Structure formats: structure tokens, C-alpha cells
């Protein structure tokens, strides 16, 4: 039950930040943005105190750690793979155009419209 109250408080803090954005309509844009950012930051802090929030932030940390372990392709590998994909797409487009054109000619001949 306490976790639900914490999550509700976090939601209300986000809402308060958004309400502050519209309430400060005549103020500088920096103050309006600051009200939203403060609301979201406080909501994140309150949500991180709940069990769900702790699991969410642990998942985020694990995701960042996993992304650091990924071996990303080099520029050369990326360009080669992109070239192969583009070449394949052009080849398939030409093949499908040829099939479509030949089927159109055959249908026109069967219907007696061919030259």
C-alpha cells in the first residue's frame, strides 16, 4: 500500500509540474521549463523510493551496463552492410518490376488487347 501511495505522490508531482508550466504562462520560458523539470525530478526521486521504482532504476542501470558491453560494428562494416542492403533492394525492385511487366503483357494478350 505504501508503494501505491508513493507512486501516486510521484504522479501528482508530475501533474504539479505541468500545472506550474501553465500557471506561469506570463513568466519567462526558463521558469516554466524549470517547473516541469523540478516536478519530474521530484517525481523520479519519490518513485525511486518504492519497490517498483527501485526495480525500474536497477533495470535502467543494467541496461546501460549491457549497452556498454555491446561490440558495435566499425564504420567500414556499417557502410558495407548498408551497401549490400541497398543493392539487394534495387535488385528486388527490378525483379518485381520485370515480373509485373511480364504478367501485364500476358494478361493483355489473353484479353485481346495486345498489339
Distance CA 111, CA 115 (A): 11
Average pLDDT over residues 8-20: 92
Does the pLDDT of residue 114 top 70, yes or no? no
Considering only residues 101 and 25, tell me which one the structure prediction assigns the higher pLDDT: 101
Contact 39, 16 (CB under 8 A): yes
Distance CA 2, CA 5 (A): 5
Average pLDDT over residues 60-67: 94
- For 24, counting Cβ atoms within 10 Å of its Cβ (0-12 exposed, 13-18 middle, 19+ buried), the class is middle
Distance CA 12, CA 43 (A): 8
Contact 8, 23 (CB under 8 A): no
Average pLDDT over residues 70-80: 95
Q: What is the pLDDT of residues 35-53, one digit of tens each?
A: 999 999 999 999 989 898 8
C-alpha cell at 102: 511480364
- Which residue shows C-alpha cell 505541468? 18
For the whole model, what pTM was predicted? Answer: 0.55
What band does 104 get if pLDDT is binned at 50, 70 and 90? very high
Amino acid at each position: 500500500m505504501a508503494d501505491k501511495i508513493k507512486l501516486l505522490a510521484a504522479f501528482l508531482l508530475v501533474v504539479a509540474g505541468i500545472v506550474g508550466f501553465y500557471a506561469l504562462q506570463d513568466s519567462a520560458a526558463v521558469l516554466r521549463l524549470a517547473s516541469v523539470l523540478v516536478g519530474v525530478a521530484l517525481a523520479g526521486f519519490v518513485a525511486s523510493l518504492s519497490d517498483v521504482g527501485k526495480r525500474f532504476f536497477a533495470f535502467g542501470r543494467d541496461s546501460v551496463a549491457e549497452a556498454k558491453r555491446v561490440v558495435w560494428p566499425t564504420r567500414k562494416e556499417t557502410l558495407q552492410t548498408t551497401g549490400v542492403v541497398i543493392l539487394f533492394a534495387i535488385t528486388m525492385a527490378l525483379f518485381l518490376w520485370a515480373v509485373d511487366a511480364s504478367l501485364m503483357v500476358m494478361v493483355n494478350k489473353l484479353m485481346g488487347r495486345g498489339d
